[in-house]
A and B are shown apart, each in its own frame.
Chain A
Amino acid sequence: MNTIPLTHILFVSTALFFIGMYGLFTRRNIITMLMSIELILNSVNINFIAFNKYLHPANLDGVFFTIFIIAIAAAEAAVAIAIIINLYRNHKSIDIEDAAEMKY
């Protein structure tokens, strides 16, 4: 049976990484920016699993790193949502352009 070559998976993960980066830089909605960050983290997860499976199958280092990334991403998202809710209560908006208190 033909297996999918590693490079294909790397293309997917690299694409996800840069889609996330693009979203982070261009989107103005804070929730969307948060989603972009999650995309970046998940592209890294794909990378880890692929490298582990294809290049270093002897032990499961990469898979375990993925577990830690998922856990940390959840913690980060929780803090981010709390920050966003707090900002929304004061600003009545989740547009990043409205958060310009320190512009001068």
Chain B
Amino acid sequence: MQLLNILLDASATSNASNYFPIGLQLFFAIGFVVTMMFVTHFLGPKRKTADKLENFASGIETHGDARQPMAIKYFLVAILFVLFDVEVIFFYPYAVNFRSLGWEGFGAVLMFVAFFLAGFIYIIKKGALTWED
């Protein structure tokens, strides 16, 4: 916790020896990374055959490029799903404090849902969710 004290109290840092643990930690962190990189480089065997350089796909032979162009609808639905999915987290705090927030909280959540529904209706009206054209 000594490091934390340094962070929270500027006056305690007048002593240069307080920086010692940071320096030590930095030294070990960098040293560890450098050592590991060198060790793996020297110890690891290197056999580059054609099979090894191939992408590993659970033993199945690979064919073609995975990056084929997809219909834009997939992206659209995915984006919309992410948006509507994530907004649900605002319900968790409300669900926990449901009783203590009372009618005021209920009104706020109702407003939130109303804005949400407005967005949803807008999406449907714009035809963003129609799968077949």
- A interface residues, Cβ below 8 angstroms from B: 5-7, 64, 67, 70-71, 74-75, 77-78, 81-82, 85
CB–CB A85/B75 < 8 A: yes
The interface on chain B, measured as residues whose beta carbon lies within 8 A of the other chain's beta carbons, has a size of 16
Q: A67-B90, A71-B87, A74-B82 are in contact. Are A7 and B3 (CB under 8 A)?
A: yes
Given A5-B1, A78-B79, A78-B83, output 10 extra A-B contacts at Cβ < 8 Å: A5-B4, A7-B3, A64-B93, A67-B93, A70-B89, A71-B87, A74-B82, A75-B83, A81-B79, A82-B79
Q: A70 CA to B93 CA in the complex, in Å?
A: 14
User: Which of B3, B72, B75, B90 is A71 in contact with, Cβ under 8 Å?
Assistant: B90
* SS of B interface (majority): helix
A-B contact pairs, 30 of them (CB 8 A): A5-B1, A5-B4, A6-B1, A7-B1, A7-B3, A7-B4, A64-B93, A67-B89, A67-B90, A67-B92, A67-B93, A70-B86, A70-B89, A71-B86, A71-B87, A71-B89, A71-B90, A74-B82, A74-B83, A74-B86, A74-B87, A75-B83, A78-B79, A78-B80, A78-B82, A78-B83, A81-B75, A81-B79, A82-B79, A85-B72
Q: When chains A and B are docked, how far (Å) is the Cα of A5 from the Cα of B5?
A: 12
CB < 8 Å A-B pair total: 34
Q: Which residues of B contact A6 (CB under 8 A)?
A: 1, 4
Q: What is the bound-complex CA distance between A67 and B88, given in angstroms?
A: 10
Task: Classify the secondary structure of A's interface with B.
Answer: helix
Q: Which residues of B contact A85 (CB under 8 A)?
A: 72, 75
Instruction: Please measure, in the bound complex, the distance between the C-alpha atom of A77 and the C-alpha atom of B89, giving whole angstroms.
Output: 17
